[in-house]
């Protein structure tokens, strides 16, 4: 197997526990249903009270039946038997009522948080999404939402009921028997809880490592599958398998360590419980022999022990899972605290409907401070006019479209829409006014109809078909067995590059915005289709403010103004004829492309 570097773990590892901050962040979602929460807690307490009362009734039955047979029939009332059955049923009833009352609270909290995280991720800048790995991100969200249900379930249905029951039982033991019973019970539980917390905290870093390596392996798998064609092109299935297996080996080693440490935890817990139970039964047996306790008392103590230590035996698991749930939730809440690089200003206002003038005013921009992209770019596109930007690859052409959409904020200068700085406009209204045909069209794994309709989800089928006709796509769609209901596959891989680009054109035409951006809109089309669609694009651009980013100069000959961008600077400007007469960079590019077409 070829040597390789370990993949970076997705997202920052938690270096400290933020337990209370996580709980504080979670509480508002639960308290939105405070009356249901209160009612559920009341049912919880009632269930525990009735559950503890069952052994008390059982003790009285045992003591009564220990009398001579004739006296037992007189002493044991039928009401005592009825109370025993009623308490058993009441315990189950209150438990299920608690479940019924709290189910909506749990699921609504999960839904609200998941929706908020989803919305926040869409609000983050393009830079965040370009730097994150999708596989690890989705796994963090999946684990976080699942952890909310787990945390609530463990806390409300296991830990809190156990604490209430322990308190009641200790109170009964103190009031009815000698202090040694309560002392043994309390000491055993304290030792158990202390040992569990100590060992579980030691195991926390092992569990965190398992989860992080799981996310890393998932990221590796998703990234490889998303690039399925590239893997096939270079015959690298074995290489991808080895890389994935390398991540799985790291995960396997961490998982083994975690499992072994769990065995040590369980052994210690079992030893503590065994000692506690033995001491309690020894004291109870001694009391019966000494005549200070009845058979009913020993049955009562035994029943209490069973009721206490049965849930207590799961305390290690519960504590570990609660800690892990808090870790997963904290990781998801970290996404919510991720800074929004591009935000609406406090006084931002919506862009007014109607024609738009676009003005790039001395715009400077750098994705990284050490690598400037644009250097004082200045141009204006009057309402209803078109402007084309040409230049070599890496000149910064596509960056203009990203800045106009405000995926990033400019480093210097300003972009003005109708004399208003775009940073003073709401992002939603700004982007609603812009339509784009990108160079690299990525489609949803859905039908062609859905992907075109995405430009304006409220459009009906006839409008979608009209847009497809305008993009010269209708005849192709009709030739497919499923027509407009044909699924395009992951990222549109079932369609050719030209077909995907025509879907993008139809989508932009359907949106019908006042500002259009064509970012290499016909780069994936053959010459014949390009000529046909070029006429449609020019027709679509008529009356709209249009920014055309192109590599092939033949597609921008009719633009009202053409800018030549070189290394982030505007070096030439004018219409097609003016630029040819300048005999500069544009003329050189024109000559080279004409020469290539003639070959």
520 pLDDT more than 90 = no
Could you tell me which residue, 204 or 373, shows the higher pLDDT?
373
Q: What's the confidence (pLDDT) of residue 417?
A: 92
> What confidence tens digit (pLDDT) does each residue in 185-201 have?
888 888 888 888 788 77
Q: How far is CA 226 from the centre of its chain?
A: 18
For 195-207, letters b (16+ CB in 10 Å) and e give bbeebbeebbebb
How high is the pLDDT of residue 568? 86
How confident is the model at residue 9, as a pLDDT?
36
- Cβ contact 317:308 at 8 Å: no
Q: Which range in 272-281, 491-500, 563-572 is most confidently predicted, on average pLDDT?
A: 563-572
The larger pLDDT score, comparing residue 362 to residue 136, is at: 362
Fold of 355-433+519-526+547-599: Rossmann fold (3.40.50)
Residue 15 binned pLDDT confidence (cut-offs 50, 70, 90): very low
Joined tokens for residue 86: 């009623």
- pLDDT the model gives residue 68: 53
pTM for the predicted model, two decimal places: 0.60
Average pLDDT over residues 239-257: 87
Tell me, what's the pLDDT at 1? Answer: 38
Q: Who has greater pLDDT, 335 or 558?
A: 558
- Is 181 in contact with 283 (CB distance < 8 Å)? yes
pLDDT at res. 498: 75
Q: pLDDT value at position 449? A: 92
Q: Report the distance separating Cα 235 and Cα 230, nearest Å.
A: 8
pLDDT number for residue 66: 59
In the chain, which residues fall in CATH 1.20.1560.10? 19-336
Task: Return d(Cα 548, Cα 506) in angstroms, integer.
Answer: 17
Ordered alpha helix ranges (H), 313-395: 315-336
Write the pLDDT tens digit of every residue in 203-228.
Answer: 777 777 887 888 788 888 888 887 88
Map residue 556 onto helix, strand or coil. Answer: coil
Return residue ranges of the chain for CATH 3.40.50.300.
355-433+519-526+547-599
Please give the average per-residue pLDDT across 410-422, as a whole number: 90
Q: What is the mean pLDDT of the chain?
A: 79
Which is higher by pLDDT, 389 or 24?
389
Share of the chain above pLDDT 70, in %: 84
**215 vs 9: CA distance, rounded Å:** 7
Q: How many residues does the chain have?
A: 599
Residue 134 banded pLDDT, cuts 50, 70, 90: low
pLDDT confidence bin for 599, thresholds 50/70/90: low
Q: What is the pLDDT of residues 38-84, one digit of tens each?
A: 887 888 888 878 877 777 777 766 666 655 555 445 455 555 667 76
3-state helix, strand, coil in the chain (%, to 5): 65, 10, 25
Chain mean position to CA 219: 14
- Could you tell me the maximum CA-CA distance found in the chain, to the nearest angstrom? 125
Mean pLDDT for the stretch of residues 256-282 = 82
Contacts 24+ apart (CB under 8 A), 100-104: 101/36, 101/39, 101/40, 101/43, 102/36, 102/37, 102/40, 102/152, 102/156, 104/33, 104/36
DSSP 94-144: HHHHHHHHHHHHHHHHHHHHHHHHHHHHHHS-HHHHHHS-HHHHHHHHHHH
Average pLDDT of the residues in 173-181 = 80
pLDDT tens digits for range 141-165: 777 777 787 777 777 777 777 778 7
Topology of 19-336 in CATH? Answer: ABC transporter transmembrane region fold (1.20.1560)
Q: Is the pLDDT of residue 586 over 70?
A: yes
Mean pLDDT of 107-129: 74
């Amino acid at each position: 197997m070829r040597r390789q570097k370990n993949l970076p773990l997705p997202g920052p590892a938690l270096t400290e526990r933020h337990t209370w901050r996580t709980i504080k962040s979670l509480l508002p979602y639960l308290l939105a249903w405070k009356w249901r929460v209160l009612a559920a807690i009341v049912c919880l307490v009632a269930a525990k009270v009735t559950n503890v009362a069952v052994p008390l009734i059982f003790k009285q039955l045992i003591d009564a039946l220990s009398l001579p047979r004739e006296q037992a029939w007189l002493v044991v009332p039928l009401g005592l038997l009825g109370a025993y059955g009623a308490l058993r049923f009441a315990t189950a009833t209150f438990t299920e009522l608690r479940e019924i009352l709290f189910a909506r609270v749990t699921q609504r909290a999960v839904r609200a948080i998941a929706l908020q995280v989803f919305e926040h991720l869409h609000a983050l800048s393009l830079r965040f999404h370009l730097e994150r790995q999708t596989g690890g991100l989705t796994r963090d969200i999946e684990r976080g939402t699942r952890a909310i249900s787990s945390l609530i379930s463990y806390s409300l249905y296991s830990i809190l009921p156990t604490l209430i029951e322990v308190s009641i039982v200790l109170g009964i033991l103190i009031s009815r028997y000698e202090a040694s019973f309560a002392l043994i019970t309390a000491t055993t539980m304290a030792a158990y809880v202390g040992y569990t917390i100590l060992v579980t905290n030691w195991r926390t870093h092992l569990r965190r490592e398992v989860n992080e390596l799981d996310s890393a392996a998932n990221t590796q798998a998703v990234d490889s599958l998303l690039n399925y064609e590239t893997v096939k092109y270079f015959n690298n299935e074995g290489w991808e398998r080895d890389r994935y297996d390398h991540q799985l080996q790291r995960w396997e080693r961490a998982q083994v360590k975690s499992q072994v440490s769990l065995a040590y935890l369980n052994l210690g817990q079992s030893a503590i419980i065994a000692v506690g139970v033995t001491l309690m039964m020894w004291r109870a047996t001694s009391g019966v022999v000494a005549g200070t306790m009845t058979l009913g008392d020993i049955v009562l103590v035994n029943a209490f022990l069973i009721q206490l230590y049965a849930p207590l035996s799961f305390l290690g698991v519960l504590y570990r899972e609660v800690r892990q749930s808090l870790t997963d939730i904290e990781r998801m809440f970290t996404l919510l605290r991720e800074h929004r690089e591009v935000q609406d200003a406090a006084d931002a206002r919506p862009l007014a409907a109607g024609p738009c003038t676009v003005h790039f005013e001395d715009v400077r921009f750098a994705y990284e401070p050490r690598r400037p992209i644009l250097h004082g770019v200045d141009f204006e596109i009057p309402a209803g006019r078109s402007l084309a930007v040409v230049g070599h690859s890496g000149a910064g052409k596509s960056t203009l479209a990203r800045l106009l959409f405000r995926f990033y904020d400019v480093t210097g200068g300003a972009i003005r829409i109708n004399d208003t700085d775009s940073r003073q406009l709401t992002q939603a209204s700004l982007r609603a006014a812009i339509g784009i045909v990108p160079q690299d069209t990525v489609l949803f794994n859905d039908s062609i109809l859905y992907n075109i309709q995405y430009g304006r989800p409220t459009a009906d089928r006839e409008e979608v078909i009209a847009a497809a006709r305008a993009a010269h796509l209708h005849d192709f769609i009709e030739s497919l067995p499923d027509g407009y209901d044909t699924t395009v596959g992951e990222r549109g891989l079932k369609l050719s590059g030209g077909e995907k680009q025509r879907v993008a054109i139809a989508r932009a035409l359907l949106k019908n915005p006042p500002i259009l951006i064509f970012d290499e809109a016909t780069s994936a089309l053959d010459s014949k289709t390009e000529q046909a669609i070029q006429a449609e694009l020019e027709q679509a651009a008529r009356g709209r403010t249009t920014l055309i980013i192109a590599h092939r100069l033949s597609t921008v000959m009719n633009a009202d103004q053409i800018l030549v961008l070189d290394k982030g600077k505007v070096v030439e400007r004018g219409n097609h004829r003016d630029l040819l007469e300048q005999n500069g960079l544009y003329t050189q590019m024109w000559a080279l492309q004409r020469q290539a077409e003639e070959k």
